[in-house]
Amino acid sequence: MENAVVIDRLTKKFGDFTAVDEIGLTVQKGEIFGFLGANGAGKTTAIRMLCGLLLPTSGSGSVGGFDIYKETERIKKSIGYMSQKFSLYQDLTGDENLWFYGSVYQIPRRDLRKRMEELTETLGLSEFTNRPAGSLPVGWRQRLALATALLHRPKILFLDEPTAGIDPVFRRRFWEILYRLADEGTTLFVTTHYMDEAEFCRRISIMHQGKIIEVGKPQDLIARYDQPNLQETFITLISQEGGNG
Amino acid sequence: MSIVEVSNLYKTYGPFEAVDNFSFSANKGEILSLVGPDGAGKTSIFRAVCGLIKYDSGQIKIASFDVSRDFEKIKPLLGYMPQTFSLYPDLSVEENLYFYAGLFGLKRQQFDEKKKLLYQFSGLGPFHNRHAGALSGGMKQKLALSCALVHDPEVFVLDEPTTGVDPLSRRQFWDILKNLRAEGSAIIVSTPYIDELELSDRVIFIYRGSKMAEGTPGELVQKFVGQVYQLDLLPTSERMQQLNKIEGITSRRFGASVHIYTRGSHTIEEYHDDLRRIGIDPDLITPVQPELEDTFIQFMGN
């Protein structure tokens, strides 16, 4: 099977602070991969390198077959990235936000109109596209942010805490959308602090202080550490590594 | 003993009824959790309790003082952590903490002692010189929390304090809440995490400004109507689609298995033929107890 993401000894230093410390991973095409870790472990920094937004200090990597040093522009065109912070223009409506992102991706006007209609339909956004993004409840804003990340039909989608602060009912609906994308062959690389969501992933990695300390199927990790669930497994692992400082 | 009494609270924004005849009380030495969808009215209630917004009608009393009349007496009793916290991004972690300590009149020595405790839970010690603006999302949340914990109020109002916080830090944060509870504080908290509801003494489900249900986690689970079954097969999309076509039952992903819900007093046996038709062996299905999340979803769905 082809690989969507391959990284080896990937490192990012900011001054004398090592944010990402020689991490290695392989994510298969069409996989839902959970990229977990403690707060400040370096997940967002790693994702930004994978998305071609930040140059690594050392190590190697490719995303969708493109090199993360030399082919960042091609990476940006072939992936979707939903960042932790709201990427939406608060005073623009949903439609205007979609139109703006579509233009950034240089999607021809007629195609863009069609894709906007499709996404509005599949994500159930139709009631909300005429309202300023800033006035939408968080759950809908996140769906709109997802729509902007999907406009150019990316093969690989990076989602950085897409469901933070969303209630359990809405989170489940959001994940139904993600499953549908995965069924259609999109690779999903997602960070979350909700361990029930992490259990929905095919494989997960756990990051702590810049390093990846475990990779595997959620059920295998739970069994390996002899814990009742993933939440306890996560806590055990991070505690073993010496707190979260 | 109740220290917060909210009765018949109404709050509208134009035509929008954010809080619709909401009453509750919070006791000393108790953790009360509010859970509901975004826009359900939690933040408006919290702001009203903290004297930050005017409400249309109703009454809020804290330690028998009326929030709308005696707010100055209430202020020192209250610790509030808003959902969007205004940390000073260009001050360091420690400077932010010191600023809040100053607001509440802590002496340097008191601050130094408190600081140690707060760094212990937050793990922010090594980052004490870092600008708040340069912290990761979850670390910002922990700093905001720490600022609300700097003085020792009797009533804590915490609006989604653990959103974006990793599981270990959440556990450490809840350990702090339990300590505060043991010291007799009343803690009112909203959360999107079901496991945190289970750590609470009482839980209120809120929807569209109204109370849908209230009780201990155990009492709320009892309110679930219907039967829950676990199917030990992977919840592939194809399987979920097939299951969702069977009328009369609802199926949801549950980790690496599937939960199936029947309605009212119906049992799974009535659906064995339907299940076999899509290739599912009924022997793989076992009855399980409903969980708090099941009850929450049921209340929100209706």
- Rg of chain A taking only CA atoms, in angstroms: 18
Which of A48, A85, A167 would you mutate first to test chain B, the one with the most B CBs within 10 A? A167
Q: What is the ipTM of this complex?
A: 0.85
> What's the CATH number of domain B2-221, 1.10.10.60, 3.30.70.560, 3.40.50.300, 3.30.110.70?
3.40.50.300
Contacts with A21 (C-beta within 8 Å, 6 or more apart), sequence order = A11, A42, A209, A210, A211
Distance in Å, alpha carbon of A45 to nearest chain B alpha carbon: 10
> What's the CATH number of domain B225-301, 1.10.3470, 3.30.70, 2.60.40, 3.90.920?
3.30.70
Q: Are B259 and B291 in contact (CB under 8 A)?
A: no
User: For A17-65, how does the pLDDT look when each residue is reduced to its tens digit (9 = 90+)?
Assistant: 999 999 999 999 999 999 999 988 999 999 999 999 999 999 999 999 9
Distance in Å, alpha carbon of B62 to nearest chain A alpha carbon: 28
Residue A184 has pLDDT above 50, yes or no: yes
What is the reported pLDDT for A165? Answer: 80
Subunit contact A167:B36, Cβ cutoff 8 A: yes
Domain that holds residue A66: 3-87+156-240
Low-confidence ranges of chain B (pLDDT < 50): none
The reply to whether B256 touches chain A by the CB within 8 Å rule is yes
Tokens of B62: 């804290």
Query: Which residue would you say has higher pLDDT here, A83 or A222?
Result: A222
Residue A245 has pLDDT above 50, yes or no: no
Subunit contact A40:B139, Cβ cutoff 8 A: yes
Subunit contact A38:B169, Cβ cutoff 8 A: yes
User: For A114-142, how does the pLDDT look when each residue is reduced to its tens digit (9 = 90+)?
Assistant: 999 999 988 888 888 899 998 888 888 88
**Residue A148 located in a structural domain:** no
Cβ contacts of B136 on chain A, cutoff 8 Å: 39-40, 44
Distance in Å, alpha carbon of B70 to nearest chain A alpha carbon: 33
pTM for this model (two decimals): 0.88
**Residue A189 located in a structural domain:** yes
Chain B residue with Cα closest to A231 = B167
Distance in Å, alpha carbon of B80 to nearest chain A alpha carbon: 18
**Residue A24 located in a structural domain:** yes
Mean pLDDT is lowest, of A80-89, A199-208, B93-102, B218-227, for: A80-89
What is the reported pLDDT for A244? Answer: 45
Q: Are B291 and B203 in contact (CB under 8 A)?
A: no
Tally of domains within chain A = 1
Cβ contacts of A194 on chain B, cutoff 8 Å: 193
Chain B residue with Cα closest to A43 = B136
Helix (H) or strand (E) holding B208: none
**Residue A44 located in a structural domain:** yes
Which of B84, B166, B291 would you mutate first to test chain A, the one with the most A CBs within 10 A? B166
The reply to whether B164 touches chain A by the CB within 8 Å rule is yes
**Residue A147 located in a structural domain:** no
What is the reported pLDDT for B301? Answer: 78
Q: What are phi and psi of B31, to 5 degrees?
A: -110, 120
Chain A residue with Cα closest to B206 = A167
Domain boundaries, chain B: 2-221, 225-301
Nearest to B164 among A137, A161, A170 (CB): A161
Cβ contacts of A175 on chain B, cutoff 8 Å: 253
Size of interface A-B (CB pairs under 8 A): 114
What CATH number is given to the structural domain containing A203?
A: 3.40.50.300
pLDDT band at A68 (very low <50, low <70, confident <90, very high): very high
What is the reported pLDDT for A173? Answer: 85
Distance in Å, alpha carbon of A110 to nearest chain B alpha carbon: 32
**Residue A105 located in a structural domain:** no
Distance between the two ends of chain A, CA-based, in angstroms? 38
Cβ contacts of A39 on chain B, cutoff 8 Å: 136-139, 141-142, 164-166, 169
**Residue A165 located in a structural domain:** yes
Q: Is the dihedral of CA B252, B258, B259, B263 positive or negative?
A: positive
Nearest to B165 among A84, A193, A200 (CB): A193
The reply to whether B302 touches chain A by the CB within 8 Å rule is no
What is the reported pLDDT for A40? Answer: 85
B150 closest CA partner among B90, B83, B105? B105
Distance in Å, alpha carbon of A138 to nearest chain B alpha carbon: 7
Subunit contact B166:A193, Cβ cutoff 8 A: yes
A34 closest CA partner among A170, A187, A140? A187
3-state class of B155 per DSSP? strand
Percent of chain A with pLDDT over 70: 98
Chain B residue with Cα closest to A175 = B253
Distance in Å, alpha carbon of A240 to nearest chain B alpha carbon: 11
pLDDT band at A206 (very low <50, low <70, confident <90, very high): very high
A167 closest CA partner among B93, B194, B209? B194
What is the reported pLDDT for B85? Answer: 64
Residue A1 has pLDDT above 60, yes or no: no
Nearest to A172 among B172, B237, B252 (CB): B252
Subunit contact B293:A168, Cβ cutoff 8 A: yes
